[in-house]
Structure formats: structure tokens, C-alpha cells
């Protein structure tokens, strides 16, 4: 078994590595976590390698022709539909998309989420916190913003009477806001 792991480590061909890993998973029934430990890589890297074997031949040829990188392969292999994959691949080539642009394209395809716009700046958040804290002194607020969504977390310490009153007050205020 150790010789297979050594063969994977020493191989320069990413698809050969992927085939050997798939063989370990499917035919030797070795868990991904165990494979990752033996190779000294993350489990997600092993999953990426195994997943690129599902890519259409035209994309594999594009990789060997140095038209796209291994990072492109890892990103686009998240798409299951072969026709969509080929269209995305053609777009990557036609527009010379970077890794980041490709990642955004795939995210938009998978989650219908675009990264248009900007994160709130620290000074903007601080102004919002300041404005909020004038009305709600006993409420801590936290804003978490990602490319896929945002969360606003209110933390209210106190008994049920206090927390219920503040929750109602916050919702009452928010329902009256026309434009922020």
C-alpha cells in the first residue's frame, strides 16, 4: 500500500494521481481522510483530484495544452452538467478568465450569486453600529458579510422580559424604515 502512496506523491501527472486516488477509494475502500493523511494533503484536495476525472475530454486536453490551469480544473469540476461545463470552459478560453473570475462564474452558476458590489467598509459599519447603539444601548450587533450573503446578529443579555421587549422594539423600528 505504501508504494501506491509513494507513486501518487512522485507522479507529475495530475490525472494519474487522480486515477490512483480513485482506485484507492473505489477498489481498496480507503477513506478520503486516510488517503489525505498518507499523502500529507487536505481531504478537500483529495476530493478535488478525484472530481477532475469527471471532466470532459476537451477540458482535459485544454489542461494538457496549457490553456487552463489545475486551479481552473478544480473550480469548474464543481459543475456536474457536461454541456454547461463545456460552455463555461469555452467562456474561460474566450475571455481569458483568471482563477478569481472563474470562481465567480462558477459561484454564479451554482448559487445564482454574483459578487457585484463591495463589502461594507469598516467606517460604514461603525456608523451603523453607532446609530443603532443610540436607540438600543443594551444590544450588541455583529455584521457578517460574505460573497454569498450577509448576517446581522443581535445579542441581547438579560431576562426574558428584557429580551422580549428589546426584540419587539427592534422589529418595530425596522418595520418603519423606508430606506436605509
12 with 101, same domain: the answer is yes
Domain-located, residue 28:
yes
Other Cβ atoms within 10 Å of 13 Cβ, number: 10
Residue that terminates a domain, selected from 111, 130, 158:
111
Evaluate if residue 179 carries a pLDDT over 70. no
Q: What's the mean pLDDT in 100-114? A: 87
Please state, in angstroms and rounded to a whole number, the distance separating the CA atoms of residues 94 and 62: 13
Q: pLDDT (tens digit, 9 = 90+) per residue, 67-102?
A: 999 999 999 999 999 999 999 999 999 999 999 999
Single pTM value for the model: 0.66
pLDDT at 68: 97
Residue identified by cell 501527472 is: 13
Q: Which of the four pLDDT bands, split at 50, 70 and 90, describes residue 118?
A: confident
Evaluate if residue 115 carries a pLDDT over 70. no
Residue ranges making up the domain that contains 91: 2-111
102: which 3 cell numbers?
Answer: 472563474
CATH number at residue 90: 1.10.10.2830
Amino acid at each position: 500500500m505504501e508504494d501506491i502512496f509513494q507513486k501518487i506523491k512522485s507522479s507529475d501527472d495530475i490525472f494519474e494521481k487522480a486515477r490512483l486516488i480513485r482506485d484507492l477509494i473505489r477498489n481498496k475502500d480507503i477513506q478520503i481522510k486516510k488517503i489525505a493523511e498518507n499523502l500529507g494533503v487536505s481531504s478537500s484536495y483529495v476530493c478535488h483530484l478525484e472530481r477532475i476525472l469527471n471532466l470532459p475530454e476537451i477540458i482535459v486536453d485544454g489542461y494538457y495544452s496549457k490553456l487552463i490551469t489545475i486551479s481552473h480544473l478544480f473550480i469548474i469540476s464543481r459543475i456536474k452538467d457536461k454541456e454547461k461545463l463545456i460552455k463555461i470552459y469555452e467562456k474561460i478560453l474566450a475571455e481569458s478568465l483568471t482563477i478569481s473570475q472563474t470562481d465567480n462564474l462558477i459561484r454564479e452558476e451554482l448559487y445564482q450569486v454574483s459578487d457585484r458590489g463591495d463589502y461594507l467598509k469598516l467606517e460604514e459599519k461603525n456608523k451603523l453600529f453607532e446609530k443603532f447603539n443610540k436607540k438600543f444601548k443594551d444590544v450588541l450587533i455583529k455584521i457578517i458579510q460574505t460573497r454569498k450573503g450577509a448576517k446581522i446578529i443581535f445579542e441581547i443579555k438579560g431576562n426574558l422580559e428584557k429580551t422580549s421587549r428589546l426584540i419587539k422594539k427592534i422589529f418595530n423600528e425596522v418595520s418603519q424604515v423606508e430606506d436605509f
